[in-house]
Chain A
Amino acid sequence: MTGFLDYVPGSSVLHRLDPLTKLVLSLCVCISAFLTDNLIFLLVLVGMDLLLGVLGGVFQKALRLLSGLLKLSVFLFLLQVLFVRSGAVLFEYGILKITLDGLFVGARLVLRLTAATLPLQLLLSVTQLSDLSGVLVQRLFVPYKYAFTLTTAIRFIPVFAAEMSGIMEAQTARGVEFDTKNPVKKIGLLLPLCAPLLISSVGKIHESAAAAELRGFTLRTRASQSKRYAFIPADYAFLVFSLLLIAAGILF
């Protein structure tokens, strides 16, 4: 099974789009989600994200991310509902007060988070990291070192996750109860692991940089890239669509 940020090979329209278009599209969805305050429009954006997931053949993965976000969403929603005290009161009991405003603010936050996270995952699912950095360097004139750092960071996320679960498994085998239901206790158990994880991660990145240098990394310039990118007609359609999304975000 692939990780939730991994590239999924395929030949859908989304796969064939220019990486720049995909980058613009996903950023525009995010921006639009932050511009709008309209709940319906946010719902439409989430629906559109899922539809794009179907188009790119990565719907299952999008659903997995959604269910992953669910816990966090419920938590954030409750937080907002309990803390917003303005607006028409729906329910009151002692200091507990639920208002219409609170429900709206909570729903907006959760939908915004979802609408803005999905397109980033979608982008990484249908675009190879090397193409993403390639297009950043070639078209957007981002210095190669920064593009490389960005893609390496993304590439290392699953490596760290694997390392973390490796450490946790080893500790569990020695009787540490990571499966505790008590969140405070769990955080207390996890915190001490951060230092060794960070040290081994930094070490790995150093090794990686040294290895890249042995293969001429420092000589690399914008002109080094041998792959060239070109727009297909669908690219223009998607770019126009991205601009419309921004406009809609401002309007609603």
Chain B
Amino acid sequence: MIEIHGLSFRYAGSDRDALQNIELTVPDGDFLGIIGPSGAGKTTLIHSVCGLVPHRRGGDFYGSVTVDGMDTVDAELTDLARVVGTVLQDVDSQMVAANVDDELRFGLENFGAPKDEIEERIVEALRAAGIEDLRDRVIGSLSGGQKQRVAIAAILALRPKILLLDEPTGELDPAVSEQIFRILREMNERFGMTVIVVEQKIMLLSSYAKTLAVLNDGQLEVAGPVREVLKESRRLEEIGVNCPRVVTLSRHIEDLTSGAIAATVEEAEAMVREVLR
């Protein structure tokens, strides 16, 4: 479980808070999507959970973040990393090895995974990320999207209890983005991993996440089950978060149906049929 209470953070030298009085609880097994305009504080929030804030980012930190019983300020970065696997926004800077195989091996070796398990876990993680064919490639020769999947595989191999991803589909086309989210859903459902993902494409979030948190200007605007949050579509649009067109559509239909919100294309279809009948 992750508990965030009264969290405010201001980067050293900055004159405004990157995060302001955040209250958020993420239960075990949740699939949380974080969305918000650029500069809203999404990355800062992710860093607050994995411990980079405040351990590796100078600034004023108020409030508390508790991850799996550990206070992030008191715990060592490495001890947090045993529980939390993080895929950072900048893929290039998180590559530590020269080739894909070593990239996956790195974390496994560091955390002391049993030597006879390493091979199996590498194969499994590569398969999960759909990049078995890249295993012997030199990192420098990969495309942005391929690197992104290598970064994800390297974290999946560690089998963390909590998985944090900062815009993991930033450089991917829609089909591959879907594939990544299917992987995340599988990790979440099959292994009970808690997944927290920052994502700009709200359509993806609303079809895969269980809960949504909307950040704007360092503040948590709304948080809750996807359906509840989507009901606030008018407010989201004011912030600059475009709702899925099906949501906008269902809002128009709302007057006619008085109530329910469609979150996926299928539901919207059913709803439209219902209205048209």
- The chain A residues found within 8 Å of chain B, CB to CB, are 2-3, 6-7, 9, 128-130, 148, 151-152, 155, 158-159, 204, 206-208, 210-220, 224-227
For the complex, give the distance between the alpha carbons of A227 and B115 in Å.
10
- 0/1 interface trace, chain B 65-90, chain A, CB 8 Å (1 if under): 00000000000011001100010101
5 residue pairs bridging A and B, Cβ less than 8 Å apart: A130-B98, A155-B98, A207-B88, A213-B78, A216-B110
Q: Which of chain B's residues have a CB closer than 8 A to the CB of A158?
A: 140
Known contacts A6-B138, A215-B110; A128 and B94 CB within 8 A of each other: no
For the complex, give the distance between the alpha carbons of A224 and B115 in Å.
9
Residue on B nearest A225 in the bound complex, by CB = B109
Residue on B nearest A6 in the bound complex, by CB = B140
**Does residue B50 face the partner (Cβ distance < 8 Å to A)?**
yes
A9 touches B138 (CB 8 A): yes
Q: Which of chain B's residues have a CB closer than 8 A to the CB of A151?
A: 98
Residue on A nearest B151 in the bound complex, by CB = A211
Q: Which of chain A's residues have a CB closer than 8 A to the CB of B86?
A: 214
B111 touches A219 (CB 8 A): yes
Q: Which of chain B's residues have a CB closer than 8 A to the CB of A159?
A: 92
Distance between B56 CB and nearest chain A CB, rounded to angstroms: 5
A128 touches B96 (CB 8 A): no
B81 touches A212 (CB 8 A): no
Q: Which of chain B's residues have a CB closer than 8 A to the CB of A207?
A: 88, 90, 93-94
Residue on B nearest A3 in the bound complex, by CB = B140
Q: Which of chain A's residues have a CB closer than 8 A to the CB of B81?
A: 213-216
Q: Which of chain B's residues have a CB closer than 8 A to the CB of A3?
A: 140
Binds A, one of B99-107, B182-190, B238-246: B99-107
A215 touches B118 (CB 8 A): no
Residue on A nearest B47 in the bound complex, by CB = A210
**Does residue B158 face the partner (Cβ distance < 8 Å to A)?**
yes
B158 touches A219 (CB 8 A): no
Distance between A98 CB and nearest chain B CB, rounded to angstroms: 46
Known: A130-B97, A155-B98. 15 other contacts (CB 8 A): A9-B136, A148-B96, A151-B98, A207-B88, A210-B52, A212-B106, A213-B56, A213-B78, A214-B94, A215-B107, A215-B110, A215-B158, A216-B81, A216-B107, A224-B112
Main secondary structure, interface of B, reads helix
B97 touches A213 (CB 8 A): no
B98 touches A128 (CB 8 A): yes
Q: Which of chain A's residues have a CB closer than 8 A to the CB of B88?
A: 207, 211, 214
- The chain B residues found within 8 Å of chain A, CB to CB, are 50-52, 56, 77-78, 81-82, 86, 88, 90, 92-99, 102, 105-112, 115, 118, 136, 138, 140-141, 154-155, 158
Q: Which of chain B's residues have a CB closer than 8 A to the CB of A208?
A: 93-96
For the complex, give the distance between the alpha carbons of A97 and B56 in Å.
61
A128 touches B77 (CB 8 A): no
B110 touches A217 (CB 8 A): yes
B99 touches A130 (CB 8 A): yes
B115 touches A226 (CB 8 A): yes
Residue on B nearest A207 in the bound complex, by CB = B93
Distance between A96 CB and nearest chain B CB, rounded to angstroms: 48
Task: Sort A-B residue pairs by CB-CB distance and give the 8 closest, nearest first.
Answer: A216-B110, A211-B94, A207-B93, A215-B107, A129-B98, A130-B102, A224-B109, A216-B111
Distance between A51 CB and nearest chain B CB, rounded to angstroms: 25
B98 touches A226 (CB 8 A): no
Tell me which of A213, A215, A219 contacts B112 (CB under 8 A).
A219
Distance between A16 CB and nearest chain B CB, rounded to angstroms: 15
For the complex, give the distance between the alpha carbons of A220 and B111 in Å.
8
Q: Which of chain B's residues have a CB closer than 8 A to the CB of A152?
A: 96
Residue on A nearest B118 in the bound complex, by CB = A226
Q: Which of chain A's residues have a CB closer than 8 A to the CB of B99?
A: 7, 128, 130
Distance between A152 CB and nearest chain B CB, rounded to angstroms: 8
B56 touches A210 (CB 8 A): yes
Q: Which of chain A's residues have a CB closer than 8 A to the CB of B106?
A: 212, 215
Residue on A nearest B119 in the bound complex, by CB = A226
For the complex, give the distance between the alpha carbons of A229 and B31 in Å.
43
Q: Which of chain B's residues have a CB closer than 8 A to the CB of A206?
A: 56
B105 touches A214 (CB 8 A): no
Residue on A nearest B98 in the bound complex, by CB = A129
Tell me which of A7, A216, A224 contacts B78 (CB under 8 A).
A216
For the complex, give the distance between the alpha carbons of A216 and B77 in Å.
9
Distance between B117 CB and nearest chain A CB, rounded to angstroms: 10
Distance between A79 CB and nearest chain B CB, rounded to angstroms: 36
A220 touches B109 (CB 8 A): yes
Q: Which of chain B's residues have a CB closer than 8 A to the CB of A7?
A: 98-99, 138
Distance between B193 CB and nearest chain A CB, rounded to angstroms: 17
For the complex, give the distance between the alpha carbons of A213 and B51 in Å.
11
Distance between A63 CB and nearest chain B CB, rounded to angstroms: 21
Distance between B136 CB and nearest chain A CB, rounded to angstroms: 7
For the complex, give the distance between the alpha carbons of A252 and B108 in Å.
50
